Chain A
Amino acid sequence: MAKYLLLKHYRGAPAPVNDVPMEQWTPEELSAHVQYMQDFAARLEGTGEFVDGQALSPEGTFVRYDGEGRPPVTDGPFAETKDLIAGWIVIDVETYERALELAGELSAAPGAGGKPIHEWLEVRPFLTVLPTITE
């Protein structure tokens, strides 16, 4: 098995096909979308492939060390930040093809007009632990 991160972006990914911002959806469309995401996670749990799923607030701050005895420097939030992560799902699947298949399903979540959003999701493999036998 291999773990993959399915990464959802607020910004930074190419534009989806059904590109209507969420705040312009009807309440029913929003409910249908949320239901789809919940069903997706439940289905993954049922197949024994679910590891984790979280959503992030769009507001974020950059922080860095500013020298001994000084408080860390903060900066932002940056409205113009190019890449903004909205959330993720971590899956544990048998093959890379299966990871792509699941990302495809997730991208089909319904949006405006009840039609699939076709949003772009980033699929990133986890680094693993080294296998014992390598020679």
Chain B
Amino acid sequence: MDEALLRTLTPTVLGILVRRGADFAGAEDAVQEALVEAVRVWPDDPPKDPKAWLVTVAWRKFLDAARADVSRRHREVRVEREPIPGPGEAADDTLWLYFLCAHPSLTPASAVALTLRAVGGLTTRQIARAYLVPEATMAQRISRAKRTVSGVRFNQPGDVATVLRVLYLVFNEGYGGDVDLAAEAIRLTRHLVALTDEPEVAGLLALMLLHHARRASRTGPGGRLVPLGEQDRSRWDTGLIAEGVTILQAALARDRLGEYQAQAAIAALHADARSASETDWVQIVEWYDELLLLTGSPVVRLNRAVAVGEADGPQAGLAALAEVSPDLPRYAAVRAYLLERAGDLEHAAELYAEASRAATSVPERDHLIREAARVRQLLRP
């Protein structure tokens, strides 16, 4: 049973159903049912042509549901009489699906859920477990999302930035369950790279690969957070790093810089350093400057202050931090770090403790408490 193959076929089969005239919501339900059927039947009776099998079964499921629906309403089978126009034949069905599932009328969480199901082929149960909500809640979220986009028709390609934001969220805020959402995000982004010709798509893929390469070293025993500077670099996945760097270089060569390429460039500079002390912080600051021009994001400004602190010393870092709003999450943690390096241990310890109380995640909170305790010990005579 090749579950990966099954999930790769999901968007293609869905696209074919919609092109044949099925409405998106009905087609999506039918494809899910066909996937469940495949999981049941294939182990004993593998099909010669998995795609054709899925299309046939899904189409039959769709017609059954449509007929049942129609007979309930005492009307003719509309789909057989009057096909709903789908996207143009020339447009790639799968690409269209990415745009639909990331449509701006959806909230980010709905777009994430719909993308994982309709493009990624995950079941509602898997998505629910990944995001730690009951299955019924996730089912509702998905069905509302489907209703929201059911009337959407594309006569021109959407904005790929909306798709990238959704894939970034899947990668960055995936929780757990039995599905590796980071790997899933990479799989979907890889596929999108093959469908489009946008340097930013490649930039996002590079960014994901470069971060994924460090995954094993990012947590210590018991899920303890290991900061970048203390990570065991021999555990970084050099294959993924090489791939990420190659993809990034090709994207940068096209001279259409965007925020994901700039973020990937920063990740690549970290990946490139054999030890934390060999990090090219001067170049990293330059990339943060680019990123700031592109996004104007206060979070970028905050991270830039850390980089400035490494490149030009803690006083310069503190000066850069003065331009950042203290209301930002992690502001106190950054200030504590810079103050410690500047030798002001007393304030650093206080700020680490303050930062731990404002932390939004358990590993971060525990890390900051440990930092506060470590600095306090240095203060003892």
Contacts and interface: CB of A to CB of B under 8 A. Distances in A.
Interface of A: 1, 3, 44-52, 92, 94, 125, 127-133, 135
A51 B137 CA distance: 7
B182 A132 contact: yes
Contact of B133 (A92, A125, A132): A92
Contacts of A51: 132-134, 137
Interface residues on B, range: 35 or more
Contact of B361 (A44, A48, A130, A133): A130
A48 B110 contact: yes
B303 interface: yes
Interface in B353-374: 359-365
A41 to B, nearest CB: 11
**Most-contacted residue by chain A among B137, B144, B360 (CB, 10 A):** B137
Contacts of A45: 134, 136-137, 140
Nearest to B218: A132
B280 to A, nearest CB: 14
Contacts of A129: 173, 175-176, 361-363
B87 to A, nearest CB: 27
B141 A48 contact: yes
15 contacts: A1-B131, A45-B136, A48-B138, A48-B142, A51-B132, A51-B134, A51-B137, A92-B109, A92-B131, A94-B108, A94-B109, A128-B360, A131-B361, A133-B172, A133-B263
Contact of A127 (B108, B176, B365): B365
Interface string B296-307: 000000010010
Nearest to A127: B362
A124 B332 CA distance: 21
Nearest to B364: A130
B110 A132 contact: no
Interface in B259-276: 263, 266-267, 270
B134 A50 contact: yes
Contacts of A132: 171-174, 182, 211, 215
Contacts of B361: 127-131
A128 B365 CA distance: 10
A4 to B, nearest CB: 12
Contact of B173 (A48, A52, A131): A131
A135 B307 CA distance: 9
Contacts of A92: 109, 131-133, 137
Interface in B164-221: 171-176, 182, 207, 211, 215
A29 B133 CA distance: 32
Nearest to B138: A48
B225 interface: yes
Interface string B92-123: 00000000000000011110000000000000
A82 to B, nearest CB: 22
A94 to B, nearest CB: 5
A51 B211 CA distance: 31
Contacts of B215: 132
Nearest to B307: A135
**Most-contacted residue by chain B among A46, A51, A128 (CB, 10 A):** A128
A52 to B, nearest CB: 8
B137 A133 contact: no
**Most-contacted residue by chain A among B109, B225, B359, B363 (CB, 10 A):** B109
B228 interface: yes
A44 B172 CA distance: 26
Given A3-B132, A51-B132, A127-B365, 10 more contacts: A44-B137, A46-B140, A48-B110, A48-B140, A127-B362, A128-B361, A129-B363, A131-B172, A133-B171, A133-B267
Contacts of B141: 47-48
A13 B254 CA distance: 60
Contacts of A49: 137
A131 B208 CA distance: 12
Given A130-B363, A135-B228, A94 B107 contact: yes
B207 to A, nearest CB: 7
Nearest to B136: A45
The 3 closest A-B pairs by CB, nearest first: A48-B141, A1-B109, A48-B140
B165 to A, nearest CB: 13
A50 B137 contact: yes
Given A92-B133, A135-B270, A130 B138 contact: no
**Most-contacted residue by chain B among A45, A46, A47, A129 (CB, 10 A):** A129
A45 B140 CA distance: 7
A126 to B, nearest CB: 9
**Most-contacted residue by chain B among A3, A45, A48 (CB, 10 A):** A48
A135 B266 contact: yes
